């Protein structure tokens, strides 16, 4: 065999190997799987990108005994992955979905500050109060420049009316790209170590000003450091620094800050919208099943599965391969999916009312819903495409999220228009996924107080409330109905909620609904710092405040209450703490940073994970027991699994970081040989002391606090 032939064979083999490697690399991976990072004592800590998660439950509260006089050790309960859990009612709305680079829309990057284009801009991450942390911009020239002026330039006003269908900006807020702070400090350096302050004072900004000049004696400069003070309100995002351009002029009058001069720009942080960062999804997606969730709701906000992303060119429908893989990954870990089919498409509804390239229109100017025959036909094609694509992995398809508010409907809400959209989609889903459940679009809100309405009041409300009118019309055509009952609501105002749920179910049966209900969004938030009293009054979610521990207790209460009602409930969301008025997250926001802000588990994350394991297999039931010494605000329910019954109980109303608890005695009218109490706050279990009394099981001195205690009984 000649050397030339050997070389040819070798080159061919290497080419085949490289092609195989390239093919494998081209296969989309939804996420990066977590890795062991270190241990705390004997407890492993795993790394999810820049999030480190303890493998066992941390001890969040000190010395929590479950029963007076009980010296039995409390043992940590090992949390289960979603795939290891048979069944629970715990769900979460995902913080957007994994995506490919082509669908990674990041319009507010720092490079916009030095691109010479006043229509593009940058914005820092928002803060709930001005100056919570330092906000700054740094320029680095490739060589020293002698400069004598810095100019900050705003993006010109859109000169168009604000959309009437988006989330309205707060009073006094400026547009993105026009957020100049009240004070500013400018420092110059030649070595990035020694800095000379050339400006430190007010900016003298005014609404009509587009350019703000800061002049000083000519100075050789390699680095420029600009720090903002007294941040303004920007849109509905709260306090931030947002500009179109930063310019630095030399003595010849040239703007040497432009990228075309080789200048670089760094900022402390960048606002990237509602969970749009591509890499974040790769890291944090596995948290959905690390937390033990058995349910996830996707596509309800601005996701690659929404119509406007799937059909970006008329008649051409595509699914992002990484988004597709993310659905598969959830399913492979035992998570059931509710997929929202959603939203208008500008290919059929026309251009935006307010053309501002920097804004995510889903928050500000939603495209109008399909109402013309051509648009309805296109919507139907999108529904068919999605159902065919996902029918083997998704068994719950929702027709539009929060269609009853303009922000998500994209126009003034119309029951008739929504019914047209729903009725176009329903037969398509039935035809192509006959085993799937069809969910009416989830309601924004809930008919609080329905249990107290007289028949006459109920009849009047049916005519007044779009959610009730549309539900009556679709009751016999859909299998599931979802609602969003509260965001950050004082629990003292929710004492009638359980009675209202029962009353609503009765009404649903009366109008012909024979399906199942879910609570597809709710949230409790622990903002640090909290909103000011002024901003709390402006926020759509109200001004109720909670500490991190209180939030964890409310999360445990709400999940447990809905479990007892037989309702899957979805916390909103998994990892988006940057919203402003709420931390839509089970992860903790600390200081913001670029390129990615590290997030760590909140107490609510660990409590949810504990609860997901502790409620495994438990279903609502009727179970005979009495409680002596029960206060008026004791909330209690009966559950059961194949292993035996259970009782859950807690003190309802407002929670506190510290709760001494109330001593109660529980009498169960059957004999049980073993009883175990489960504490989701500390993730611990303790065998409880019991006595037998004429066929009854007595548990004396049980300590009840303001979070759920789960008591499981072994079969007699």
Burial (CB count <10 Å: 0-12, 13-18, 19+), residue 523: buried
Of residues 590 and 537, more confidence is placed in: 590
Task: Collapse the DSSP code of 102 into the 3-class scheme (helix H, G, I; strand E, B; otherwise coil) and give the result.
Answer: helix
Where are the domains positioned within the chain? 1-30, 90-98+274-522, 107-267, 619-713
> Residue 356's CB: how many other CB atoms inside 10 A?
20
Q: Supply the angle between the helices 415-432 and 466-474 in degrees, to the nearest 10.
A: 30
Name which of 158-172, 289-303, 397-411 the model is least confident about: 158-172
pLDDT tens digits along 648-703: 999 999 999 999 899 999 999 999 989 999 999 999 999 999 999 888 999 999 99
Dihedral sign computed on CA atoms, order 560, 564, 567, 568: positive
Of residues 6 and 106, more confidence is placed in: 106
pLDDT of residue 14: 39
Tell whether the model's pLDDT for residue 524 goes beyond 90.
yes
Mean pLDDT of 629-639: 96
pLDDT of residue 157: 83
In this prediction, residue 104 has a pLDDT band, given cuts at 50, 70 and 90, of confident
Which has the closest alpha carbon to 46: 313, 398, 290, 294?
Answer: 290
Tell whether the model's pLDDT for residue 39 goes beyond 90.
yes
In this prediction, residue 64 has a pLDDT band, given cuts at 50, 70 and 90, of confident
Give the Cα separation of 326 and 433 in Å (integer). Answer: 20
Pick the CATH number of 107-267 from 3.30.460.10, 3.40.630.30, 2.60.120.260, 3.40.50.720: 2.60.120.260
Which has the closest alpha carbon to 399: 374, 360, 433?
Answer: 433
pLDDT tens digits along 130-156: 999 999 999 999 999 999 999 999 999
DSSP string for 613-675: HHTTT-EE----EEEET--TTEEEEEEEETTEEEEEEEE-S---S----EEEEEEESS--S-E
Mean pLDDT of 40-55: 96
In this prediction, residue 23 has a pLDDT band, given cuts at 50, 70 and 90, of very low
pLDDT of residue 235: 84
Tell whether the model's pLDDT for residue 7 goes beyond 80.
no
Tell whether the model's pLDDT for residue 27 goes beyond 80.
no
Taking the C-alpha atoms of 353, 354, 358 and 362 in order, what is their torsion angle to the nearest 10 degrees? -40
Contacts of 109 (CB under 8 A, 6+ apart): 122, 270
pLDDT of residue 273: 81
> Residue 1's CB: how many other CB atoms inside 10 A?
6
Give the Cα separation of 475 and 461 in Å (integer). Answer: 17
> Residue 462's CB: how many other CB atoms inside 10 A?
16
> Residue 46's CB: how many other CB atoms inside 10 A?
17
Give the Cα separation of 173 and 162 in Å (integer). Answer: 12
At residue 332, φ and ψ (nearest 5 deg) are: -65, -20
Name which of 154-163, 609-618, 673-682 the model is least confident about: 154-163
Give the Cα separation of 171 and 169 in Å (integer). Answer: 6
Dihedral sign computed on CA atoms, order 558, 561, 563, 566: negative
Q: Is 230 left (phi over 0), alpha (psi -120 to 50) or beta?
A: left
Tell whether the model's pLDDT for residue 174 goes beyond 50.
yes
Tell whether the model's pLDDT for residue 4 goes beyond 50.
no
pLDDT of residue 5: 35
Contacts of 459 (CB under 8 A, 6+ apart): none
Tell whether the model's pLDDT for residue 234 goes beyond 80.
yes
Quote the pTM value: 0.93
pLDDT tens digits along 400-428: 999 999 989 999 999 999 999 999 999 99
Q: Where are the alpha helices (DSSP H) in 194-320?
A: 278-284, 287-290, 307-310
pLDDT tens digits along 354-405: 665 555 666 667 889 999 999 999 999 999 999 999 999 999 999 999 999 9
Give the Cα separation of 576 and 585 in Å (integer). Answer: 5
- Residue 516 in contact with residue 479, Cβ under 8 Å? yes
In this prediction, residue 173 has a pLDDT band, given cuts at 50, 70 and 90, of confident
Q: Which residues pair with 396 in a beta bridge?
A: 338, 437
In this prediction, residue 716 has a pLDDT band, given cuts at 50, 70 and 90, of low
Give the Cα separation of 171 and 177 in Å (integer). Answer: 17
Beta-sheet pairing, 336-341 with 396-399? parallel
pLDDT of residue 356: 57
Give the Cα separation of 521 and 579 in Å (integer). Answer: 16
154-180 burial code (b ≥16 CB/10 A, e <16): bbeebeeeebebbbbbbeebbbbbbbb
Both tokens of residue 582? 């709420």
Q: Do domains 90-98+274-522 and 107-267 have the same CATH topology?
A: no
CATH number for the region 90-98+274-522 comes to 3.20.20.80
pLDDT of residue 543: 83
pLDDT of residue 166: 61
Cα–Cα distance list, 612 to 4, 487, 560, 625 (Å): 65, 21, 10, 25
Of the segments 100-109, 209-218, 574-583, which one has the largest average pLDDT value? Answer: 209-218
Both tokens of residue 408? 């998500």
Mean pLDDT of 440-451: 98
Which has the closest alpha carbon to 518: 397, 664, 383?
Answer: 397
Mean pLDDT of 184-189: 98
Cis before 510? omega within 30: no
Give the Cα separation of 11 and 52 in Å (integer). Answer: 45
pLDDT of residue 162: 57
Mean pLDDT of 345-359: 74
Both tokens of residue 340? 């929202």
Burial (CB count <10 Å: 0-12, 13-18, 19+), residue 423: middle
What average pLDDT is seen over the chain?
A: 92
- Residue 87 in contact with residue 295, Cβ under 8 Å? no
In this prediction, residue 159 has a pLDDT band, given cuts at 50, 70 and 90, of low
In this prediction, residue 1 has a pLDDT band, given cuts at 50, 70 and 90, of very low
pLDDT of residue 11: 43
Tell whether the model's pLDDT for residue 22 goes beyond 70.
no
Name which of 82-91, 169-178, 182-191, 681-690 the model is least confident about: 169-178
């Amino acid at each position: 065999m000649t050397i030339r032939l050997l070389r040819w064979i070798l080159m061919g083999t290497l080419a085949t190997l490289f092609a195989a490697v390239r093919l494998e690399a081209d296969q989309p991976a939804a996420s990066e799987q977590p890795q062991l990072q270190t241990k705390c004592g004997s407890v492993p800590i795993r790394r999810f990108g820049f999030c480190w998660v303890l493998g066992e439950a941390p001890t969040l509260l000190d010395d929590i005994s479950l029963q007076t006089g009980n010296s039995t050790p409390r043992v940590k309960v090992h949390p289960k992955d979603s795939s290891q859990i048979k069944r629970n009612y715990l769900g979460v709305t995902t913080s957007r979905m994994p995506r490919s680079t082509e669908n990674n829309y990041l319009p507010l990057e720092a490079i916009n500050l030095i691109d010479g284009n006043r229509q593009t801009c940058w914005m820092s991450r928002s803060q709930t109060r001005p100056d919570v942390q330092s906000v700054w911009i740094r320029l680095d020239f490739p060589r020293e420049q002698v400069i004598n002026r810095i100019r900050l330039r705003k993006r010109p006003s859109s000169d168009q009316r604000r959309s009437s269908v988006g989330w309205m900006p707060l009073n006094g807020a400026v547009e993105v790209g026009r957020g100049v702070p009240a004070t500013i400090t400018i420092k110059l350096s030649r070595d990035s170590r020694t800095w000379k302050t050339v400006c430190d004072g007010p900016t003298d900004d005014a609404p009509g000003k587009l350019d703000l000049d800061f002049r000083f004696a000519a100075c050789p400069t390699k680095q420029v450091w600009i720090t903002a003070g007294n941040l303004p309100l920007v849109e509905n995002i709260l306090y931030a620094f947002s500009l179109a351009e930063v310019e630095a002029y030399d003595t010849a009058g040239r703007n040497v800050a432009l990228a075309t001069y080789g200048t670089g720009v760094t900022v402390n942080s960048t606002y990237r919208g509602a969970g749009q960062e591509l890499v974040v999804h790769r890291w944090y997606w596995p948290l959905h099943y690390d937390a033990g969730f058995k349910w996830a709701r996707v596509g309800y906000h601005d996701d690659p599965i929404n119509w406007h992303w799937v059909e970006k060119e008329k008649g051409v429908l595509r699914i992002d391969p990484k988004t597709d893989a993310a659905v598969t990954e959830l399913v492979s870990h035992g998570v059931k999916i509710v997929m929202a089919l959603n939203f208008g498409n500008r290919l059929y509804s026309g251009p935006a009312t307010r053309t501002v390239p920097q804004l995510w229109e889903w928050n500000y100017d939603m495209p109008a819903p399909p109402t013309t025959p051509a648009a309805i036909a296109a919507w139907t094609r999108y529904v068919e495409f999605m159902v065919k694509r996902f029918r083997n992995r998704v068994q719950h398809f929702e027709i539009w999220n929060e269609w009853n508010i303009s922000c998500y409907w994209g126009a003034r809400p119309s029951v008739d228009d929504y019914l047209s959209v729903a009725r176009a989609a329903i037969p398509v889903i039935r035809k192509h996924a006959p085993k799937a459940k069809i969910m009416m679009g989830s309601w924004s809100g809930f008919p609080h107080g329905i249990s107290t309405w007289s028949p006459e009041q109920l009849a009047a409300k049916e005519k007044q409330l779009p959610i009730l009118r549309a539900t009556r019309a679709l009751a016999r055509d859909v299998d599931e109905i979802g609602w969003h009952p509260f965001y950050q609501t004082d629990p003292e105002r929710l004492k009638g909620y359980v009675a209202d749920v029962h009353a609503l179910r009765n009404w649903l049966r009366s109008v012909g609904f024979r399906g199942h209900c879910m609570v597809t969004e709710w949230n409790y938030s622990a903002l640090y710092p909290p909103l000011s009293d002024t901003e709390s009054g402006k926020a759509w979610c109200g001004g109720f405040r909670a500490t991190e521990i209180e939030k964890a207790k409310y999360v445990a209460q709400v999940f447990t209450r809905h479990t007892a009602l037989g309702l899957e409930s979805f916390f909103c969301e998994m990892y988006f703490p940057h919203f402003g008025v709420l931390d839509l997250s089970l992860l903790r926001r600390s200081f913001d940073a670029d390129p990615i802000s590290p997030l760590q588990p909140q107490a609510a994350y660990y409590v949810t994970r504990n609860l997901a394991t502790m409620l495994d297999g438990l279903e609502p039931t009727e179970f005979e027991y009495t409680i002596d010494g029960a206060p008026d605000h004791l909330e209690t329910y009966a559950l059961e699994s194949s292993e035996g019954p259970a009782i859950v109980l807690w003190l309802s109303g407002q929670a506190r970081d510290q709760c001494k608890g109330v001593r109660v005695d529980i009498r169960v009218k059957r004999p049980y040989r073993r009883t175990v109490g489960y504490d989701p706050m500390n993730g611990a279990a303790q065998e409880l002391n019991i006595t037998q009394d004429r066929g009854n099981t007595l548990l004396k001195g049980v300590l009840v606090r303001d979070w759920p205690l789960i008591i499981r009984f072994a079969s007699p």
